[in-house]
Every structure is written in structure tokens, then in C-alpha cells.
Amino acid sequence: MNTKSKKHLFKPCFLLPLLILICSNGFAQNTLISEMEELKWEKVMPGIWKASFGEMGLNPIDYANEPKIDAIKALGDAPFPFDQNASRSLLTPNRANVRLPLRETEQIYGLGLEFEGINRRREVYTLKVDHYGGIKGYTHAPVPFYISSEGYGVLINSSKRVKVHVGVGNRKDSSLPERIDRTTGKNWPARPLSDAVEASVEGDGMEIYVFAGKTTLEVVQRYNLFFGGGIIPPKWGLGFWHRMHTKSSDQDVLQEIQDFEDRDFPLDVIGLEPGWQSFAYPCSFDWDSTRFPNPEKFVQTLNQKGIKVNLWENPYVAPVSTMYKDISPFTGSHTVWLGEVPDYTIPEAQQVLLKHHQKNHLSIGVSGYKFDEVDGYDVWLWPDHATFPSGNDAVEIRQLYGMMMMDMFDRHFKEQNQRTYNLIRSAYIGASNHNFVLYSDHYDHEGYVTALANSSLSGLLWTPEIRSANSAEEWIRRFQTVSFSPLMMLNAWSSGKKPWSFPEVTDLVRNTIELRMKLLPYLYTAFYEYNQKGIPPFRAMVLESGFITQETLTGGELDDAKNPYAEQKRLEVTDQYMMGPSILVAPVFTGQVERSVVLPKGNWYDFYTGEYAGNGETITIKTKLEEIPLFVKDGGIIPMLTTLDKKSDQTLEVRLYGSKENTFLLYNDDGVSYDYERGEFSLIELKTTRDRKGQLSGISKTLKSHKSSYGTIVWRWMKVPQ
Ligand code: GAL
């Protein structure tokens, strides 16, 4: 959404009189909950309501896309999901505050990209765009949207840093749990149960949106659809990405490509790191003439081989840049690494950047970017007191910087009817319709898997990229995880590693990449569902029906050194997730000879053998170095390519699991343009039905023909006699 008009205009309401009531003894009175302003909810679409109070600065929603109204309508209407009377707002001299009800049994998920935990209850988050770490909520994508296990979601729409108390912080006048004496009582809680989510910003107001849903997944769908649904990446984006060492030259790249070919490794995208530029940190955005003397010929050579080029950059402009003179009038008071910081809330500044990039990169065939350092640490980035020529607040500009970059480039690519897939290190509200995937410097394999699950709760895509490893085992384990993620990438910017850097596992690495690529018809269709219905292609288990989400707390023994407040720990499943409608992915970490997998209700089958694995239970499996554990839901229909040869007729093997009748709507299109939005795509219905003897058979029916359609279909029944 780039025009400022729209639905998001807020209606100020004036609450201050309550606050300035000074009583006779000279102290300001506390405002009671009953005296706080009741939020006035206005229905904006079926199952979506909005309330606002006070005034806000930049509106984050201006950098998201337009709602998919028909798809939202198709989800149907729903009643307002909680007690409206219990939703209150308060403006204090420095903060805008909101209080929303929370029931004892409710669990809360979301709040953006996090590397730890899925459940957010009993925590405090300071949602600040940051290079991750230290404080809860300081992360690449601190999205102020939470989902309740009771089937609704709340978005605090503000470009300020939102501080959220999720069921902690008990007001005197709220409903309080029983008080327990710590000396004599059992179960004294360090965090007594509170009956609210309380959130505030340092600012003068906010908007709040509520999204209903019969399930947590439907809540996420409404949220994503409200911002245009998800993206469908170009097909090349779902292939293999290799980022070169930062000092690489054009000749090094050509040699590397040859090495990929010689070793029979798929390669779809080459990423160039800082060294492609004549100056970096801050950036010139201009090609380095010694390492890349003829960029046009270089990019075209790669494109002719079917390989795309992606360029790294951070936003900070070096004086040697050819765009410096034009952008400098639109930059802020402070520098980052001595480079100037463009104020992209100003349309002219956007034009300078787009014009420069179109001329120097995109017009010669560059496919997209990796926008680094749009999050940053305080010690690197501009301070909160920096000023910008637009007059917009430095805190808000930082919170929205990544969104502004995504929105500006997405619009530019779309104008050329060209799809793109990129990387970025910060995102915020309503990012699902942006063609960008998040990544991090934080390199923890287990945290990466948790982030993969969490990202689905906030309209984000995340790549657990590989950089290096301490052993061949770690190498293959990380490769297996990244092969089952939105963007499969080796980022060798500093390590200079190649997929074959650990020869003991080279074949296994190739196999896992190839398996991912053969699953393209399944995965591409999952992205179509993301686009049309808002269903994330990679999902946290809490979005899966039949998955038990009750809170389990454990431990809580007093330990003077480690646990002086005898706090309990939450047991939860953070190391598995769903891919597409029916595959459960359970990555293995270095050293794990076995692992447990929590199977939701319903029958589940081993992807590789078709063997029955369990139903609504926790199973323990022995790990195999050559396989990432994958389980398929009963009735799972998995269309796969039989060969990666792009010139083949695209024969499909359609695997069938279990014994349930099912339907899979297989999607395809040209893979590169936005023509699909004008109906240029194919749809094949893959259906399993039971005959009179009880035998299941597969039937395919073309529902919408188009030149992109697949070739012959070969059914493969994976059922193993029991
Ligand atoms: C980091 C980024 C890495 C790499 C590096 C290049 O900030 O996270 O992926 O691009 O910069 O200097």
C-alpha cells in the first residue's frame, strides 16, 4: 500500500482529561481499568475489526500491500472474538497504552521472528528492529501481531517500538490469582497469572486490529490476506543459491559455475557479496572495475546459463557512489559506517535509488538484492535522536526501513511484470506479500529451525542459510534443513565453502538438494496457497490441526545460583514444522542419534518408505545421516518431478500415502512473470477415490489448461502392507 489515503486513517479521540485529574493531596490519581477508554471496534472486513485512539506517526500499513478482499470474504464471517468491554486504551503523557483480555488457558504465539520458543505467554517483549539478541523482542522482524490459541489475533499497528506484556504485570484492580506465601506455601509463582495482554508505545496513539478465526491457522490466513496474501516466488528462487566469497571476481564466479557443472550440482542463483562494489561499508552501489570489468557481459553470460545474479548491499551511501550527489539532499543527520542514510519516506529519494539500480544492475539482467544491515545494532545505526529531512522520527524510520526497501523494489519489479526473490535482514507488519526472505548472522542450527516455525506466525519467510560447519555431520544436517526451507542457500561470503567442501558427505548433500528440487511441484503449489488463501508454505506446529497446544510447565526447583526464583520452564515443540499441506519436517542436529517427533492426531507415514509412523503421539526415531526425517499425513498426495532436466516433458510421479481419500489442486505457471494474476496458469486436480472393493486409485483432471501444465502423471502408491 503506497498511497497514504486508504482505510488506515485513524480517528483521534481525546482521553487526556482523565489523566490530568489532580486530587486535593497533589498526587495524580491512577486511572482505573473502569475509567480507561473502551476501544470502539469498527468492522473493516468479515472477521476483521479495527480500533484506534490518539494520533500516530508513520503508518506501517502504508508499506504493505492491499487486502485480498474476495479471499477474506471466502473465509466467511465471524463474531468478535473476546469481550469488547474489556479492551481499553489510555493515553498518558508519554505513552499510548492498550489493555486486552486474556483468559487463564489462552496461549499466545507470534510477535515476530524469534529464535527461542513458540509460546509467548508470561513474557515481556520490546519489539524493536535490531540485529537480534540480548533483550526479548530485539530481532530482525519484531512484528506486533499475536495469535491466541482461542482463535483470534491482535495487531498493534504502530511504527514505534511496541512493548508487550503477555500475561504478566498484574494491575491492582484486575482479577488477581490467590496470593501464596513464598516461605510456607507451595507453588509460589514468580510470575503470577495476569488477565491481560498490555501493550504500549512511546507515542500519542495507535491502531489495533483484531483478526478472528475458527483455528489459529485461519487467524494467520486472515492476517496474511489482509496484506495481499503471500507471494509466489519465481521458480528459480526455489532452486539452489550460492553466495560467493566477498573478494571473488567475475573469473572466480565462472570457475565456480564450472565446478558446479563438473560435480553435477544444481545452481540457480549466484549471490555477490560486498566485493562486487567499488567501495563497501558504506556502499558505492557501483561495480568494481577490477573484479568486474564488464558487468553487462558477466550477468548476461550467467543468465544464458540459466543462472540469476543477486547483489548484496547495505543502504548507507559512500561519497564515491555515482548516486551520492543526487541522494545526499535526502539523507539524515547521522552516518552509518560514515555513509549517509537515505530517508526513503521521501518519494524523490526512492526515485534516485531506483533509477540508479535500474540503470546499473536491473537493466543488465540482475535478478534482485540482498538488503543487509537494515536492522543493525545501536552501536552501528543512527541514534534515536537523529533527524531526517522528511521530519519523520528516527525510531520509526528504523522500524520501517526494511519494509520501505521491500515495498519500493517490489513495486518496481512488478511494473516490469517480472517476479523476483530477494533477501533482507528486517521486516515488520504485513510482509507476506513482499518477495523477500529473512536471514541472520546469528548462526545456531536449532534456533534457525525455531525461527523457521515462528516466521509463519507473523507473515514472514526465513532461510536457515548455511555458512560453514565444524564437521561433515554438521554440514549435511544444515544442508538438509535449508533444503526444507523457503530459500535454499549456501552463504560462503567469508568461508568460501562449496557444497562439496566435506567430501565424505558430498553425495548426501547433492541428494538432499535434488530431493528439494524434485518436490518443486508440491512446494510451488504450497506457495500458490500462500498467495490465494494466506496459508504459510512452512508452518509452526501450532497452526496444524490435531496438534496439542496445551501449556506444559516443568522444573521450578529453587537453585540459589541458577534459579533463585524457582521459575518453571515451558516444554514445547520448537524443532519440527510443516511444509505444504501434508509433510511434517523434523530436522536432525549434530550428534543426535535419535530424536522425538510429535505427530498430530491422524495417521502419519514415513515419507521415504510409506510405513506407518504413528497417530497423535510422540515417537522416537533413530536418525540416519542420509535422511532428514519427513512424515506425511494420511491421504497425503505429493507430486514430484522425476528428473531435474529442465528440457524434459516434466513427467510427474505422484506419491500417495495412507488410505484416506483426498484431493490436491496442482498449480503451475510460467514461473517468472505476474501473468498468473491475469489467469495465465494451469490447475490439475489430483484425486484419490475408493472403488467398490475399497481400493484407492488416483485420477487426474485438468481444471484449467495452460502451456505451463505438467506432462505425464505416474501414480505411486506408498502404502506398505501392515
Ligand atoms: C553481514 C551479512 C552476511 C554477509 C556479510 C558481508 O552483515 O549478514 O550474510 O553478507 O554481511 O559483509
229 within 8 A of 433, measured Cβ to Cβ: yes
The whole-number pLDDT of residue 220 equals: 98
Q: What are phi and psi of 274, to 5 degrees?
A: -45, -35
pLDDT tens digits along 218-257: 999 999 999 999 999 999 999 999 999 999 999 999 999 9
Q: Which protein residue's CA is at the shortest distance from atom 5 of ligand 1?
A: 493
423 within 8 A of 370, measured Cβ to Cβ: yes
pLDDT tens digits along 635-689: 999 999 999 987 777 899 999 999 999 999 999 999 999 999 999 999 999 999 9
Ligand 1: centre distance to CA 360 (Å): 22
Burial class (CB in 10 A: 0-12, 13-18, 19+), 627: middle
Ligand 1: centre distance to CA 439 (Å): 10
Ligand 1: centre distance to CA 495 (Å): 12
Q: Is the pLDDT of residue 722 over 60?
A: no
Q: Which part of the chain is CATH 2.60.40.1180?
A: 541-633, 637-717
Dihedral (Cα; 334, 340, 341, 347), 10-degree rounding: 130
Three-class SS of 7-68: CCCCCCCCCHHHHCCECCCCCECCCCHHHCEECCCEEEECCEEEEEEECCCCCHHHHCCCCC
CA 353 to CA 285: how far, in whole Å?
A: 10
Within 8 A by CB and 6+ apart from 33, the residues are 88, 99, 171, 173, 174
For 637-717, CATH gives: 2.60.40.1180
For ligand 1, whether the C-beta of 493 sits within 6 Å is: yes
To test the ligand 1 pocket, which listed residue (441, 462, 482) has its Cβ within 8 A of the most ligand atoms? 441
Kindly state the percentage of the chain with pLDDT values over 90: 89
The whole-number pLDDT of residue 22 equals: 47
Amino acid, single-letter form, for residue 394: A
What superfamily in CATH does domain 238-505 come from? Answer: Glycosidases (3.20.20.80)
Please, which pLDDT band fits residue 720 given cuts at 50, 70 and 90? low
The whole-number pLDDT of residue 176 equals: 95
Ligand 1: centre distance to CA 188 (Å): 46
Ligand 1: centre distance to CA 65 (Å): 28
To test the ligand 1 pocket, which listed residue (131, 247, 273, 462) has its Cβ within 8 A of the most ligand atoms? 273
CA 285 to CA 312: how far, in whole Å?
A: 9
The whole-number pLDDT of residue 553 equals: 85
Q: Which protein residue's CA is at the shortest distance from atom 10 of ligand 1?
A: 273
Q: Give how far Cα 620 sits from Cα of 553, 574, 589, 597, 617, Å.
A: 21, 16, 15, 6, 10
Atom of ligand 1 nearest to the CA of 373: 7
Ligand 1: centre distance to CA 283 (Å): 13
Atom of ligand 1 nearest to the CA of 372: 7
For ligand 1, whether the C-beta of 274 sits within 6 Å is: yes
Angle at 437 between CA 357 and CA 403, to 5 degrees: 60
Burial string for 649-679 (b: 16+ CB within 10 Å, else e) reads ebebbbbbbbeeebebbbbbbbbeebebeee
Residue with cell 470502539: 40
Nearest to 300 by CA among 359, 243, 250, 364: 364
CA 148 to CA 289: how far, in whole Å?
A: 54
CA 690 to CA 662: how far, in whole Å?
A: 10
Cα radius of gyration rounded to whole Å, the chain: 26
Residues in the chain: 722
Please, which pLDDT band fits residue 549 given cuts at 50, 70 and 90? confident
Nearest to 309 by CA among 226, 359, 368, 233: 368
Least confident of 492-501, 547-556, 677-686: 547-556
pLDDT tens digits along 339-359: 999 999 999 999 999 999 999
The whole-number pLDDT of residue 25 equals: 66
Reduced to 3 states (helix: H, G, I; strand: E, B; else coil), residue 573 is coil
Q: Is the pLDDT of residue 703 over 80?
A: yes
Atom of ligand 1 nearest to the CA of 467: 9
Ligand 1: centre distance to CA 272 (Å): 11
CA 680 to CA 27: how far, in whole Å?
A: 68
pLDDT tens digits along 149-199: 999 999 999 999 999 999 999 999 999 999 999 999 888 999 999 999 999
Ligand 1: centre distance to CA 314 (Å): 9
Burial class (CB in 10 A: 0-12, 13-18, 19+), 202: middle
* Top-confidence residue, 379 or 646: 379
Mean of the pLDDT values across residues 696-710?
Answer: 92
What's this model's pTM, rounded to 2 decimal places?
A: 0.95
Atom of ligand 1 nearest to the CA of 493: 4
For ligand 1, whether the C-beta of 491 sits within 6 Å is: yes
Q: Is the pLDDT of residue 63 over 90?
A: yes
The whole-number pLDDT of residue 3 equals: 41
Q: Which part of the chain is CATH 3.20.20.80?
A: 238-505
Q: Is the pLDDT of residue 494 over 70?
A: yes
CA 397 to CA 408: how far, in whole Å?
A: 15
DSSP string of 321-373, one letter each residue: STTHHHHGGGEEEEEETTEEEE-TTSHHHHHHHHHHHHHHTGGGT--EEEE-S
For ligand 1, whether the C-beta of 426 sits within 6 Å is: no
Q: What are phi and psi of 411, to 5 degrees?
A: -65, -40
Q: Is the pLDDT of residue 333 over 50?
A: yes
The whole-number pLDDT of residue 1 equals: 52
Please, which pLDDT band fits residue 554 given cuts at 50, 70 and 90? confident
Atom of ligand 1 nearest to the CA of 440: 8
Ligand 1: centre distance to CA 253 (Å): 18
Q: Give how far Cα 46 sits from Cα of 52, 218, 247, 544, Å.
A: 18, 12, 53, 23
For ligand 1, whether the C-beta of 116 sits within 6 Å is: no
For ligand 1, whether the C-beta of 375 sits within 6 Å is: no
Ligand 1: centre distance to CA 229 (Å): 29
Name the grid cell of 550. 496445551
Kindly state the percentage of the chain with pLDDT values over 70: 96
Task: Classify residue 316 by its DSSP letter.
Answer: P
CA 555 to CA 570: how far, in whole Å?
A: 9
For ligand 1, whether the C-beta of 441 sits within 6 Å is: yes
To test the ligand 1 pocket, which listed residue (312, 377, 462, 467) has its Cβ within 8 A of the most ligand atoms? 312
Mean of the pLDDT values across residues 559-563?
Answer: 90
Q: Is the pLDDT of residue 31 over 80?
A: yes
Nearest to 468 by CA among 431, 503, 450, 493: 493
Ligand 1: centre distance to CA 578 (Å): 29
Task: Classify residue 85 by its DSSP letter.
Answer: G
Atom of ligand 1 nearest to the CA of 465: 9
Ligand 1: centre distance to CA 426 (Å): 13
352 forms beta bridges with: none
Please, which pLDDT band fits residue 205 given cuts at 50, 70 and 90? very high
Dihedral (Cα; 337, 339, 345, 351), 10-degree rounding: -140
* Top-confidence residue, 563 or 133: 563
For ligand 1, whether the C-beta of 209 sits within 6 Å is: no
Ligand 1: centre distance to CA 371 (Å): 10
The whole-number pLDDT of residue 24 equals: 54
For ligand 1, whether the C-beta of 415 sits within 6 Å is: no
How high does pLDDT run on average in the chain?
94
Within 8 A by CB and 6+ apart from 698, the residues are 637, 654, 656, 686, 687, 688, 713, 715
Ligand 1: centre distance to CA 163 (Å): 29
CA 710 to CA 519: how far, in whole Å?
A: 14
To test the ligand 1 pocket, which listed residue (283, 372, 440) has its Cβ within 8 A of the most ligand atoms? 372
Please, which pLDDT band fits residue 7 given cuts at 50, 70 and 90? very low
Q: Is the pLDDT of residue 27 over 90?
A: no
Least confident of 98-107, 121-130, 465-474, 688-697: 688-697
For ligand 1, whether the C-beta of 312 sits within 6 Å is: yes
For ligand 1, whether the C-beta of 277 sits within 6 Å is: no
CA 319 to CA 340: how far, in whole Å?
A: 8
Ligand 1: centre distance to CA 190 (Å): 40
550 within 8 A of 88, measured Cβ to Cβ: no
For ligand 1, whether the C-beta of 371 sits within 6 Å is: no
Name the grid cell of 520. 518443486
Q: Which protein residue's CA is at the shortest distance from atom 12 of ligand 1?
A: 274
81 within 8 A of 151, measured Cβ to Cβ: yes
For 4-226, CATH gives: 2.60.40.1760
Name the grid cell of 415. 511494473
For ligand 1, whether the C-beta of 273 sits within 6 Å is: yes
272 forms beta bridges with: 311
Q: Give how far Cα 423 sits from Cα of 395, 402, 589, Å.
A: 23, 10, 25
Ligand 1: centre distance to CA 243 (Å): 10
Atom of ligand 1 nearest to the CA of 281: 12
Ligand 1: centre distance to CA 372 (Å): 7
385 forms beta bridges with: none
190 within 8 A of 557, measured Cβ to Cβ: no
584 within 8 A of 576, measured Cβ to Cβ: yes
Q: Which helix (H) or strand (E) holds 660?
A: none
Atom of ligand 1 nearest to the CA of 441: 8
For ligand 1, whether the C-beta of 372 sits within 6 Å is: yes
Q: Is the pLDDT of residue 34 over 70?
A: yes
Atom of ligand 1 nearest to the CA of 280: 12
Q: Is the pLDDT of residue 18 over 60?
A: no
Ligand 1: centre distance to CA 230 (Å): 26
Q: Give how far Cα 686 sits from Cα of 241, 292, 710, 714, Å.
A: 31, 48, 12, 11
Q: Which protein residue's CA is at the shortest distance from atom 4 of ligand 1?
A: 493
Mean of the pLDDT values across residues 292-311?
Answer: 98
What superfamily in CATH does domain 541-633 come from? Answer: Golgi alpha-mannosidase II (2.60.40.1180)
Least confident of 41-55, 68-82, 175-189, 397-411: 175-189
Within 8 A by CB and 6+ apart from 38, the residues are 84, 85, 87, 88
Burial class (CB in 10 A: 0-12, 13-18, 19+), 25: exposed
Q: Which part of the chain is CATH 2.60.40.1760?
A: 4-226
Ligand 1: centre distance to CA 74 (Å): 42
Q: Which protein residue's CA is at the shortest distance from atom 3 of ligand 1?
A: 441
Ligand 1: centre distance to CA 344 (Å): 22
Amino acid, single-letter form, for residue 658: G
Q: Is the pLDDT of residue 10 over 80?
A: no
Q: Which helix (H) or strand (E) holds 408?
A: helix 394-415
Strand-pair category, 488-491 with 240-243: parallel
Name the grid cell of 417. 511484470
